[in-house]
Structure 1
Amino acid sequence: MRRVGVIGAGKIGGSLLSRLAESGDFELAVSDVHPEQVERFRRYDRVRPASSNLELAEASEIVIVAVKPWDVAGVLEEISPAMGSGGRSVTSVAAGVEIRTIESYLPEGTPVLRVMPNVCASVGLGAAVITANEPGRRVLPEVMDIFGRVGEVMELPERLFDAATALHGSGPAYVALFADALIQAGVREGLPREVARRLVVGTLAGTAVLLKDRSAHQVRDEVMTPGGTTAAAFVAMEKAGFVGAVYDGVNAATRRARELGG
């Protein structure tokens, strides 16, 4: 049974830890600067709270660093003494922090992987991209399996990670912004707020299922009748710069991801 340690039990780390604990397939350890985060996992028999990040690393084969980008360096310095033996690997989910930066804090030859998941992992419907250094490729299938417990995982070259971070890492917030705008628009047109909310949530859920088997253009064309309501809406949205705003937002997020890595 693989020993996996998770440093940081927030949204991503906590969701992953819960799924792994429920599977019963792993021996798990957790550490977090906030003790209350660790307390949530005491109910699981196979999750052991660690008194320090170093203790966690020493007890684990796969160490998952699920902290904010600005906290990564400090965590890596703490666990570095444990990483030179035992075949241990490090996987980071921090936006913008490149593999070469992670390697600089660890003994030479340490297997290092990067994963960019999103918060949909909390409901088992996440999407994640993954890459690894050369030593890390030997544990790549195992780490893909771990993150596959909370959603879809695909391998991607690291040079595309900033764009992926902007697209799917931040993506749930974009969808939530659009959903809120739709709800507000429905209320403005006279719908009760709860009715508008339920209609929007159901529409987004159903559309997501459709998009698994159809292209976005196909779904759009199936809904849009020439001269109809959808066509009228598209003309108004295009005049307001909707598509351009999406392009600009993803571009700004990509640039910010690069800055975080610097």
Structure 2
Amino acid sequence: MKNFLGFVFMFFMVGHVFAQDDLLNQLDTVKSKEKQIEMSAFKGLQIVNMQSTKLPTKGEWYMVVSHRFGDLTKGLDNFFGLDNAYTKIGGIYGATDWLSLGFSRQTYNKTYELTAKYKLANQEINGFPVTIVGYNTMDINSALKTSQYPYLKFNNRLAFTTQILVTRKFTDKFSLEMAPIYVHKNLYEGGLEQKDLLLAGVGARYKIAKRLSVNLEYAARVNMPENFVSPYHNPLSVGLDIETGGHVFQLVFSNSQPMNDVAVFSNTAGDWNGGSIYFGFNMYRVF
């Protein structure tokens, strides 16, 4: 409104001879002040295992199919992982342009995962420097049995993550993400796991061809108690994005076989330093 009133005032202050030129100048000024949103820093909804700041647009449905084979390092013993695979299948709906809701079912612990992803700020051209997105998950572990836990309640099946994803697209080829991550488990193995876990995550994308990019991500646990010995490791993953029209296909190498966020960040059993490595893919199909 202030811009409009200023425009009207300037219009009547100039003479009739220059009225048309001043009108065009004012329109150019208004147009230049409009916020120009930077294109998405990542092409896929995920970097590799971690989420990116990309969201579906309003009304879009994404079908998600992810697969992780078994340990590659065992060779023919498990036929390079084919004998011990995990699968995830689900869907994501763009409720608005700034909010998406998701649901999936995964092999690991027969886990059902509910997700919410919401945009808090956009990176602007010559404006705000980063995109900020919130992401929350709730896991339901349906593999737990009362025969194993006689006093098991539904609440004991639940685990959660809260993440703040901050990305910047530096060039058309290179993008970077930083992410503080919080994991909470209602039921956990004392001495092996923590009830509450904090991590600092980082992810990057580098475009190597028109429809190809290499992605890398890592999350470090930052609140491990001193002398706490855990069988789990910080997740490190490498991926290759392949854009094929209606969907993005991602090839994945990771030290995490589970694909739900809680397990990726707190139960990564593999180790790039002579331990287990898992190959797989993520496929998103948009409707």
Please confirm whether the aligned pair reaches a TM-score higher than 0.5, indicating the same fold.
Answer: no
Larger fraction in helix: 1
Larger fraction in strand: 2
Instruction: Name the larger-Rg structure.
Output: 2
TM-score, normalization by structure 2: 0.27
TM-score, normalization by structure 1: 0.29
Structure showing greater relative contact order (alpha-carbon pairs closer than 8 Å, 6 or more residues apart): 2
